[in-house]
Amino acid sequence: MKSQIILCSGGARSGKSEFAERLALATKGPKAYVATGQAFDEEMVDRIKKHQERRGKIWNNFEVPLHLADEWENISQSADVILIDCLTMFTTNHMMAYGSIRGQEDANRLEQTILSELDTLLDSIQSCEGKTVIFVTNEIGLGIVPDNKLARYFRDIAGRVNRAVASVADKLYLTISGVTIELKSQEVHING
C-alpha cells in the first residue's frame, strides 16, 4: 500500500493541530510527532508547552526545526503514522537561518532552498510503503497584504510551500473556528 499524504490547514488557533492529532490517533499504527517549532520567545515557549501537554506520551517525539528530509529515514522507521506540525514554522526557521534577506533575489534563493528540501521529503514519503503522513500548516494568505517586504516574502514563500504539499496530498482539510471540512475531493480541474 502506498503512503498517504494529508494536509491540515487553517488560521492561527483555528483547531487545525487538534484535528490533525485526532486524525492521527484514529489511524492504526505507531505514532510519531515531528515538531518544527523553536522557542525564540516567551509566546513560543508557551505554545510549545501547550502542544506537548496536549500530546501526552503516546507519540515518538522528534524536534526537527530544519532539514526534515535528512531526518526522514529515522522518523519513518519509528512510526507508521507521522504528524509534522508545522510547515509554517519550518518555513520561518529557514528564514531565520538564512539571515538577512536584502531583496527579491535573496527571497527567490531562500524559496528555492525550502522547496528543494520539501520536494526531497515528499519524494521520500511517496517512495515509502504504508505510511500516513499528516502535515499541519497555517493558511496565512487570506488577509491583507503585509505592509513590509519581509512579511510579504514570508507570506509568498509559505503559500508556495503549502501549494507544493497540497498538490501531492491525498486529502486536504481546512479548519475554520474549530470546524473542519475536506477540500481535496472537491477540487476543480480545468483541462485545456
pLDDT digits (tens, 9 = 90+) for 112-127: 999 999 999 999 999 9
**Does 36 appear as a known binding residue?**
yes
Q: 125-147 burial, b if ≥16 CB within 10 A, otherwise e? A: beeeeebbbbbbbbbbeeeeeee
**Does 14 appear as a known binding residue?**
yes
> How many folded domains does the chain comprise?
1
Question: Is 189 within a domain?
Answer: no
Tell me: pLDDT of 48 over 80: no
Whole-prediction pTM: 0.92
**Does 41 appear as a known binding residue?**
no
Please give the angle made by the CA atoms of 76, 136 and 51, to the nearest 5 degrees: 90
Closest-CA residue to 135 (of 44, 3, 42): 3
**Does 15 appear as a known binding residue?**
yes
The pLDDT assigned to 98 comes to 92
* Gap between the terminal Cα atoms of the chain: 33
Kindly report, residue by residue over 90-102, the tens digit of the pLDDT.
Answer: 999 999 999 889 9
Cα(132)–Cα(4) distance, rounded to whole angstroms? 5
Question: Is 190 within a domain?
Answer: no
**Does 103 appear as a known binding residue?**
no
For the residues 122-133, what does the mean pLDDT come to? 97
Question: Is 120 within a domain?
Answer: yes
Tell me: pLDDT of 192 over 90: no
Question: Is 180 within a domain?
Answer: yes
Tell me: pLDDT of 51 over 90: no
Helices (H), the chain: 16-25, 42-55, 68-78, 87-98, 104-127, 149-168
**Does 37 appear as a known binding residue?**
yes
Question: Is 71 within a domain?
Answer: yes
| Look-up of cell digits 519581509 | 150
Tell me: pLDDT of 44 over 90: no
Here the CATH number for the domain that contains residue 31 is 3.40.50.300
Kindly report, residue by residue over 149-175, the tens digit of the pLDDT.
Answer: 999 999 999 999 999 999 999 999 999
Tell me: pLDDT of 77 over 90: yes
Three-state secondary-structure class, residue 69: helix
Question: Is 27 within a domain?
Answer: yes
- Range with the lowest mean pLDDT among 48-52, 82-86, 123-127, 134-138? 48-52
The pLDDT assigned to 5 comes to 98
Q: Name the average pLDDT for the chain.
A: 93
Which domain range does residue 158 map to? 2-184
The pLDDT assigned to 9 comes to 98
Question: Is 86 within a domain?
Answer: yes
Q: Which residue has the higher pLDDT, 13 or 181?
A: 181
Most distant CA pair in the chain, distance: 51
Known catalytic residues are 51
**Does 70 appear as a known binding residue?**
no
For the residues 59-70, what does the mean pLDDT come to? 94
Are 64 and 36 in contact, with CB atoms under 8 Å apart? yes
Question: Is 192 within a domain?
Answer: no
